Structure 1
Amino acid sequence: MQRRTLTALGFAAATLIGAATTLAATADAQPATTALPSNWYASAPYLMPQSNNPPDPVTVMNATGQKAFQLAFILAPDGGGCAPTWDGKSPVPSDTAVAGVIDRIRGAGGDVSVSVGGYGGTKLGQTCGTADATAAAYQQVITKYGLKAIDFDLEEPEIENTAAIANELGAAKKLQTDNPGLFLSITMPGIASGANWFGTQLIDTAKSIGLTPDNFSIMPFDGGFNGGSAQVAALEGLHGQLMSHLGWDSATAYAHEGFSGMNGKSDASEYFQVADFQTVYDYATSHKLGRFTFWSVNRDRPCVGTTDNGVCSNVPQNDWDFTKFSTRFAGATPPVSTPPTTPTTPTRPGTCTAAEWQKSSVYTGGTVVAHNGHKWTAKWWTQGEEPGTTGQWGVWTDNGAC
């Protein structure tokens, strides 16, 4: 569950990193002069700065008005040990690449949070022997980049490991104490009823050690979800869990609750359209939820020449449509963009008045085309699937000769 696709494009493929590195004045990111208001950290979408074909964050900022990003992920080294690395490979102490990206974001008036954990790799809570050792590893990250916010993304298999979760939550509490004002979020798997069993145990553990993060967020995807309404139902379930497990009243529970969605096609082939994000956004703002984020900015663009789920959404959209929901959640007004449209093609001569099907064109559900003397209607988004070749279960409905 909660799989987050990692496309191994490597450091050489990340042109952004090479360019950003040359801008870094030192090995460390220049600290933000002042923290952004917490609404921006609460709306920061995830962005992988070293893989999954990272977009230029300043381009995204200029197009959306978004000011903060959740950089992912800090892990234990692939070879083991209690030292923070990016993606298990790049040691934080010697990093210049991500530091350069952070400098670019801050130079444009924004800031970052950093996410620790995630779906893949080995987590520091699993390899560091104690909560204090885990906290010391994460403190290196906070100090290195001058962070004002951090996210604990606690997923399988770590969330099922009692000792590892004790290390992570104990570290989170120490970081709160040692870094006054630090914005701290905890992200965990979501199921139809809210947090899963291990998530509720995590909430109980946090209560037992006196840890109150800024929010507990669930990821309602990769679990049989069907659009925004199912996600809203899961969030309502989490709301009830926060009240019953922590003794909070309704308003307090909503204020400490967060949504961490997945834009477009999930790894379990669920589809979350722009309209689904609107449904959840309306719920989140009307109930005054404490966080609204998603995985990921790397995927927040239409698929062109690829269907790689790590670098595009596989649903109809303009670039950065999903990020604009985060901007709106922070209280800002994103720039206006034109909705995606179906490309126009020449009309077929003769009795077929529909446009002729074109292999390179993108078609959305309900679009009518002509091909081989028949009229065809698309059932859903498609590109490159020739009418008449995919059978009755394919994307095209044969409306007969024309």
Structure 2
Amino acid sequence: MKLFAFSKKTGAIQPRKKKSNKSLFRRINDWLHLWLGLVTGIIVVFVSLTGCILAFEREIRNVTQPYQFVEPQQKPFLLPSQLERSAKLYVYGSDTAKANIYGFEYGDQHKAAVVAFLDPKDGYSMVYLNPYDGTPLAKKALNRDFFRIVLAGHFYLFLPAPIGQPIVAWSILIFVVILMSGLIMWWPKKWNKTNKEKSFKVKWKAGFKRVNYDLHNVLGFYVMLIALVLALTGLVWGFEWFANGSYFVTSGGKKLAKWEEPVSDTLTAQVAAPMTNVDKIYLESVQHYNNPTASIQVSYPNTPTDPITVSYNPDEGTYYKREYRFFDRNTLAALEGGGIYGQEYKKATAADKLYRMNYDIHVGAIGGLTGKIIAFFASFICGSLPITGFIIWYGKKKKKHKKAKANLDIKHPHSAGIK
């Protein structure tokens, strides 16, 4: 085999160019994998690493925020209106102060009650109270909450939402294409013993370049299916057309019912203060669900047409079983709304259940702690792929540069000190 050839055009000895044995499809596929990865790599790294943190948000909060918990007592919880007075006294120094209260959340007998409100200085905030006696435990402004900050980076790259959200969404969609093209590149031409070892095993005792290549090639294959699940569930929030399309496919051609709150527009004069009505709805909900281990949220009507909203979640570790009920703010009559969340989970269709599971699948919570661990490592590996891929590309580029310099020395021997 001749390694060099004489060029009649330049009169110099040049290395013989190797003919590529790849098909046009493979060359296009490899080119897309490279350049799409280079363009979106830094965003994929950032979104993946922030996703690692968010996977264990609940577990970390339980350790770092002890004010979420209280000692159980043998007496009922205070009513929403009573908690509101305690929250106002704690925040404003007066239980009659004007405050924009969003609502309340009650957990099980070990959990603190939460009052959500709009603070004039800190914005959306929460006050944690002992649900048995109203004792204030802590106040948290969400704009300074660590996980809210991480979530803003995960969703928007800390940019304004109209700018950051499309960038993240398109980057993740491109990442799906990269995964598919990577599988094509990974697929061995022959399934012999040597190729199987290269495709399924990391050669840890080899040099840095080989180990880096294996980390990209082998780990990329092992994580691909989970990475696709994480990416596709993320795209449900990224693109409305994707959310509607995925539901259309899984439901056999049905249209996704949009989330809508019913209008509370009765002309009946209020015979009681809204807070008293909220108290009544809370007590009715406790009796209706009769589940002391569940969480119940009651949201105030903040505009003249808003209903009183109740959110019920029987499972602390997940969100897909949540259901919503709505009540007229004046008559307390039940209203219909909430789309696919306006019904009991057990009565939902298979497509509705799958859609409701989207968040819990995305963070791995659907599989409990094991699922979160899997999601964490999968997300971490996804974040490593652009880095190991860049190292492979940079190494090849550097090697080509050395070859080009060697070619120049052969063409002009005097430049290399040859006489």
Question: After TM superposition, is the score higher than 0.5?
Answer: no
TM-score, length basis structure 1: 0.20
The structure with the greater share of residues assigned to helix is 2
TM-score, length basis structure 2: 0.19
The structure with the greater share of residues assigned to strand is 1
Q: Relative contact order: is structure 1 or structure 2 higher (C-alpha 8 Å, sep ≥ 6)? A: 2
Larger radius of gyration: 2
